[in-house]
Each structure stands twice: as C-alpha cells, then as structure tokens.
Structure 1
Amino acid sequence: MKHLHFKMITAMPEVARHAEACGVDTIFIDMEIRGKSERQGHLDTQKSEHTTNDISRIARVLTRAELMARINPPWEGTAAEVEAAIAAGAGRLMLPMFRTCDEVAEFKSAVAGRVPVTLLVETASGLARLPVILPLLQVGDRVHFGLNDLCIDMGLDFLFEVLGGRLLDGPAALCRDAGVPFGIGGVGRIGMGDVPADWIISEHVRLGSEWVILSRAFHGGATSLDRLVDQLDLAAELSAIHQCYRDLGAADSTLLREYQRRLACKAAEIGRQRSSARWLQAS
C-alpha cells in the first residue's frame, strides 16, 4: 500500500517547522498571481501572494520536508521566475495552468534538470494533451490534478464533480502506465466539509493518487503557531487521514465503488444547487 503524502501552503516559518514535525511532506510556497483573481475571484479558495523572500525564509527552517514553489502560468517571464525561485532555495517547482506541450517543454528547458518539477494539470486542454506531455517528464517529476480550475475550465459548478464524473480515471491510468507519481486536489479534515473526507480519500486509493494538498481546515488561516496549535492537533488529524487511507486500501473494491457512487451523487447535488443559486441571482 502506497503512502499518502501531504502538501501544506504556508509562508510562516514557525508553522512550516511545526507542519514538518507533524508529518507534512511538502511545504508549498504559492507565488501564482497572474489571472488567478479573475478565474477564482468568485470562489472561496486559497489565494496567496508569496514571494521569493518567503522561499528563502522557509528554506532556512526545514530539515526534512521538501520545499516547493508554484510560479505563474506560462508567460514571457517564466524563465526569470524559474531562476529566482531556484536561487532562493526552492527544491521543486510547480507549473500551473499550462495548455500546450510547448509550454511544458519551455518550462522544463528553463529548469534544466536542476530541481524536479510538478505539472499542475488544471485545464481541459492540458488534460487532453497528457499523453504527449508525460514523456517530457524525468525521474522525480510529478503531476498534480487541480480540481478548482479544472472545474472552472470544464464549465462545471462544483470541484468534486470532476471526481464524481470519473473524469480523472483515464488521466490517472496514463500516469500509472508512465510511472509518473501523481496527486489530486485537496482534502479537509475527517468529519468536516461538504463532502465526507473518506469519500474523497477513497478516490485517491481507487485511482492510485499519492499526494494531496491540505485545505485551510488544517490551519484555519491562523496568523501564528500558537493560534494554530490552539485550533487543532495537526499530527492527530494527519494520522486520521493516514489511517483512513490504509483502511480503504485494504477494503474490498465494492466499498470503493460505493463511495465513488455517493461522491458522484453528492457532487452533482451540490453542483445543481450552486447553478440554481447563480441563475436566481442573475434573474
């Protein structure tokens, strides 16, 4: 049974150090700002404005966890962003919102093998072109499927409709066949959220996903380590997810199919509600 790895977005050194001690595998510096407000301004998603200075500050405190930096979508400044992030101490770079094989090739050329990369697949065109993009990746590189922007790009109303509709079954199989490790979206705390976390974790097991981004439910927008520690026991929360992942990994495939069915129904229900609400607002 594979291990489910965790990414956490934070630019606070004390929180990063605490998260590492609790078992977070990757600290995630998010420098993506170009076009994000326009795409996700209507959504309650994590929107950060981290900088290369944040990379340097976090790099100084980590001893085990990987430090990953997400740069902007492909543009004429991509090569300069790559240079700055690597110079600041990033151990992995993530490219979001790419649509073509050429954009990935240019990004890989700029990185030049100095650090591994993660391709954030969050456009329909990027998803469709995965068969010709995967051969560009090297040992250590990964893929992550971003549900929020895939949902938007596909004209859906709720991010988990992507999983409910089994739209990642084929792309996940392509990654497995190519030997490229991959992750999917984010996850909340067990027992919380619009969709039960165990249904979502079940999809990670069913599809073979190895990585997940921890949602804000794991830090609640805390502005200090003391506030974070007061809000939750991070190590215990992560242990609960690991246990759920292990239990589902050992479960009969019938249970995974049942959880997938429930997820599909719930996601479609929430999608209909949100579509109706928008229609009423517009009228």
Structure 2
Amino acid sequence: MSQLNFMMITASPEVASFIEQHGVPRIFMDQEVLGKAERQGHLDTHKAAHSLQEIAAVAAVLKRAELMVRLNPLNALTRQEVEGALDNGAQRLMLPMFSSRAEIEQFMAMVNGRVPVTFLAETAASLVRLPDWLDLLTPGRDEVHIGLNDLALNMGLRFLFEPMAARLLDPAAATLNQAGVTWGVGGIARIGQGELPAETVLGEHVRLGSQWIILSRAFHAGAATSADLLETLDFPAEMAKLRQAEAYWRSADEPLLLDNQRQFADCAYRLGRRGEA
C-alpha cells in the first residue's frame, strides 16, 4: 500500500514552496466562509478566507504540489466561485457541507471536468448516502475527504474524533476502498503532540486505508516565511517522524491495529466527556 499523503493550509507563497520540497504534495487554500463561523465559532479551526490574489500568488510558485481550493457550500454564487478559483490557478476544487447526490451533480456540471474535485463529506447525511453518490466520482481523479469537525457537530458530539472512536467510518472506508476512490480523513498534530496522540491517530489511518491527511497548524504556527517555519520547528525532521510512525503501523498486524483502535476510542471518549455535568 502507498504512503499517506499530506496536505497543508497556507496562503504564504514562500511557505508553500518550502513545504512542497519537503514531502507535502498538496497545498490547501480555503475560501469557505458561509455558515462556518456559526457552526465552528467556538472551535479552534481555520476560518480565514483566502483571496483570489492570494491563490494566484501561491499558484505561481508551485512546481510539483497540487493546489486545492475549498469553496463555499453550494449557493447562488457557486458558479462564480468556481470560475474565480480556476482562473487564478486552482488545480483541484473542494466542495464542503453537501448532503445529497443532486448537490454533487450540480457542482460537477459547473466544474465540467476541468479539474478533479474532492468532496468533503462532513454531514451525517453525506456519509449515510455515500453508496448513492459515489458512482458520480471518477476513481483516480476525484476524491473524498471526511471532515471530522463538522461531522461531530452534526452528530451532536463533543469531540471531533468520536465518530472514528465508534468505528462509524469503517463502512464508508470499506466502500471507498472497494470502489478504488482515493480518500482521507481529518488532520493530524505533530508526533508527541495532540490531545489524542498523533501516533495513535496514524494507526487508525493505516487500519482504515486512508490515503490523505491534513497537517494541523502545529506544523506551521502561522509562519509566513520559510525562515519563520524553520525557527518555529524543524519541518523536515517533523515530517520524518510522521513517516517513521507510519512505517511502524504499516508493519503492524491486525491485532495490534485493533488494540490501537481501542486505545484511540478510550482516549477520544475521555476527551469527549470533558465539561459534562
């Protein structure tokens, strides 16, 4: 099985150029604002909207990495958002907060095959209906990413990893793997960090067959330049730690992966209980 692929959110051309040289094959830029503050205002998540000028600036420096732009959920201006992102260098688009096959068909018609699309499955309805809409995607081109922050909120859960703790993603993972559709889920902190240890999270990615993961802000801390990035952390060394941890889980047998899943669940539920009366 191939290695996990990493993507990272940044609007800095210098940071984007640096990280593509150190194992990050996809730069993630974000234009989603509609409804996000209302849903995630209490969470420490990315909420800034990148401008078309920022997208164009990052696109201009990339040599190998793919530039993906997340748009708003479907709305009256989606066609304009699609055209604006593509005109400024987006090589892949991401559609968030969809729930139905009809929404995917509508978005696909607007994109009209010009770039691949990643569908961000982050509602309970999108996961339940996965077998109904998956045939609209082209394997090897279009992808699915499961968004844990909004999925947990949509389910009324306290901690973003609780759906994985309950193995609610196992059926979706099996369906995606069988269909040959590339997919990923959530994000990850640096090795040795995170309320739920990054090493434990990586084990679940390997067990489920996930192929993409977002590097959290722990990997850049808002750095605007490569010098800032290197001053904040040794980025190449942190990437090497991720690969070492992944290699460990790739060599693990099923009982060890299942034991890791149980530890994952215990920790996720414990964190989810915080603040309960």
Pairwise TM-score range, normalised by the shorter structure? over 0.9
Q: Match for 1:112: what amino acid?
A: N
Matched, 1:187 2:176: no
How far 1:231 moved relative to its partner? 1.1
Distance 1:68 1:32 in 2: 13
> What TM-score, normalized by structure 1, do the two folds share?
0.95
Which residue in the other structure is 2:134 paired with? 134
Matched, 1:157 2:134: no
Taking only aligned residues, the RMSD between alpha carbons, in angstroms, comes to 1.0
Which residue in the other structure is 1:119 paired with? 119
How far 1:236 moved relative to its partner? 1.4
How far 1:48 moved relative to its partner? 2.0
> What TM-score, normalized by structure 2, do the two folds share?
0.97
How far 1:234 moved relative to its partner? 1.1
Aligned residue for 2:46, secondary structure, equals coil
Matched, 1:92 2:92: yes
Matched, 1:63 2:58: no
Distance 1:154 1:43 in 2: 16
Distance 2:86 2:110 in 1: 11
CA deviation string 1:23-65 (max 9, x = no partner): 1110011000000000000011122210221111111000000
Aligned residue for 1:69, secondary structure, equals strand
Unaligned ranges ≥5, structure 2: none
Which residue in the other structure is 1:263 paired with? 264
Distance 2:236 2:133 in 1: 36
Identity of aligned residues (%): 51
How far 1:224 moved relative to its partner? 3.1
Aligned residue for 1:60, secondary structure, equals helix
How far 1:221 moved relative to its partner? 1.7
Distance 1:155 1:52 in 2: 34
Aligned residue for 1:114, secondary structure, equals coil
Which residue in the other structure is 2:173 paired with? 172
How far 1:223 moved relative to its partner? 3.5
Conserved? CA contact 2:15–2:223, under 8 Å: no
Distance 1:172 1:245 in 2: 18
Which residue in the other structure is 2:226 paired with? 225
How far 1:222 moved relative to its partner? 2.1
CA deviation string 1:102-150 (max 9, x = no partner): 1111011111100000000000011111111110001411000000000
Q: Match for 1:181: what amino acid?
A: T
